[in-house]
Structure 1
Amino acid sequence: MNAGRPHGNAKYHLEKCRCYQCCYAASEYDRNRRRAIAYGRWQPFIDAEPIRQYVHALGEFGIGWMRLARLSGVPRGSMSRLLYGDPTRGTAPSQRVRAKTALAILAVQPTLDNLGARARIDGTGTRRRLQALVAAGWTQSELARRIGVDSANFSRTITSDLLRAATVRAVNALYDELWRINPVEAGVPSHRAAAARQIATSRGWAPIGAWDDEQLDDPDAFPDWTGFCGTPQGRRAHYRARVPVCPPCSQAANQTAAA
């Protein structure tokens, strides 16, 4: 079930939420249903094709139909008939589907929490989180141990464009746990923490403070190394901090020089 489903008629029926908003939405739905029946406009079944296309679209995100059945609460038999029909009876895929079933399926979104563990997704935020932790002094071997990745494969994890959803979820949780913790106080030897920070500096990995939370997963975002990044003062601030000049600061300096 999708615990993140918004409050309303779907949450009332599918998650048994009995808050005021859900109860009101369910009451309105039932009232409109009775009115439609009275006027001969009630359609308990709807065209199945758009729902089938949505199921296929979720499959592109790594949410297979069996996983979708579990997340939506729709019986696997109903989902199978929607997609493939009933081979034992020689019937084609469903032409119509109950509105309640459609509502349950459409309520499932391709969020990180819903993706299958092996689904391959963008690794931008994962790279930045791991690199920032290394810049804080966490060793790569310790980070690999904490997320359950073999140390030999960690170098790919910290630089890959695509990663498994399970790895992304594990790194997100690890970052939330460690970003405020001093690695030396947590048991990382001071000389190894210093070596980790040096590796991060040599590779231009941005520290934790350079990222706002909403930017970590944005492929188009740049870290604010100095507090002045993207401004005419940015390049000088980089020199004072002894960190590489970032593209926004280079662009700002060039625009100032050309003015």
Structure 2
Amino acid sequence: MTRPHGYARYRLDGCRCYTCGWAVAQYNDAREHAMRRGTWQPWTDAEPVRVHIRNLQDCEMGLRTIAAHAGVNRKRLQAVLHGRPERGTPPQRQVRPAFAAAVLAVEPALENLAPHTPISPLGTRRRAHALVAVGWPQQHLAAHLGMNPGNFGTMLVRDHVLVRRALAVRAMYDALWRADPADHGATPGGITRARKYAADRDWAPPGAWDDDTIDDPDAWPDWTGKCGTVEGFWAHRYITAPPCQPCRDAFNADGRARKAAAKEGTTA
């Protein structure tokens, strides 16, 4: 592959054309100014980059995908991870700052993963459950995704979901969570049955989730706006919904504290 004219071609290929010479002159000028200011940093530690690459790999991102999103050559990532075995060189200890910044900017977002990558189904499941909780019959949701109802139901109980399907469900959720199912062909009976089905299974509606918690495995739905407190426990009674675990924990902790205070008062 022919390298484009510029600094790299001047240094690596010996090209002395005007474009390559100008690029080198610009580079040297910038370097001299940075050195006079004390800001010259030609290299930086490779370890944070190496750790980040491994974290991305743990999130099912391959080196080709990481390289594509960072705009770098895959072999440079391999050199950071494993060195160059064919040359007998160990993993790089230092990298250029621009290279480090490009790699560290890559995040394991769904959009960056290959479409057929299997991931946790939690966020997908919560979004589907939330739509059913506000009256969307499952057959309507399945049709929206181009699925039959049986496959849609199977998707909600599997231990993984493909990235392409997770993205489709997320787009569906964003489009429908504030929409009225009746405006999209759902019958009053179908809406009532969907809501009851969700209520019987304690499926939280969209209002109980924030965008930054719905995919978090450690997060609980905030049904009342006060979940995790004693006030939240009683608010569940008001909305005729079973108390969530954080509210039960808060209520029980408050009860234990009251008993301890009463015991202290008796023995004082």
1:67 maps to what in 2?
A: 65
> How do residues 102-117 of structure 1 correspond to structure 2 at under 5 angstroms?
102-117=100-115
- 1:32: how far off? 6.7
Amino acid at match of 1:62: E
Distance 2:58 2:247 in 1: 38
In 2, distance between residues paired with 1:79 and 1:233?
52
Q: How many aligned positions are there?
A: 229
Q: Does 1:142 find its partner at 2:137?
A: no
Counterpart CA distance in 1 for 2:229 and 2:155 is 33
> What SS is found at the alignment partner of 2:161?
strand
Question: Which fold has the larger relative contact order, with Cα–Cα distance below 8 Å and residues 6 or more apart in sequence?
Answer: 1
Structure 1 or 2, whichever has the larger Rg, is: 2
Cα distance between partner residues in 1 of 2:56 and 2:175: 30
Listed one character per residue, the Cα deviations across residues 95-134 of structure 1 (whole Å, up to 9, x for unaligned) are 4654433332232122232222233333333222111100
- Residue of 87, 93, 98 corresponding to 1:91: 87
Q: For residue 25 of structure 1, what is the aligned residue in structure 2?
A: none
Give the fraction of aligned pairs with identical amino acids, expressed as a percent.
Answer: 42
One-letter amino acid of the structure 2 residue matched with residue 138 of structure 1: W
Question: 1:250 corresponds to which letter in structure 2?
Answer: R
Contact 1:235-1:245 at 8 Å conserved across structures? yes
Pick from 165, 186, 192: which aligns with 1:188?
186
* Structure 2: 5+ residue stretches without partners: 1-26, 259-268
Q: Partner residue of 1:206?
A: 204
Deviation at 1:46, TM superposition (A): 5.8
- After superposition, the C-alpha distances for 1:157-201 in whole angstroms (9 at most, x for unaligned) are 334554333232222221111111001111122222221111101
* Contact 1:144/1:151, CA 8 A, preserved across alignment: yes
Give per-residue Cα distances to partners, 1:65-89, cap 9 Å, x unaligned.
11122111113455566667778xx
- Structure 2 residue aligned with 1:152: 150
Q: For residue 184 of structure 1, give the secondary structure of its aligned residue in structure 2.
A: helix
Partner of 1:230: 228
Q: Secondary structure at the match of 1:33?
A: helix
Residue number among 241, 244, 248 corresponding to 2:242 in the alignment:
244
- RMSD (Å) for aligned C-alpha atoms: 3.5
Q: Deviations over 1:31-57 (max 9, x none)?
A: 873345679996646666664554333
2:32 alignment counterpart: 34
- The residue that corresponds to 1:13 in the other structure is none
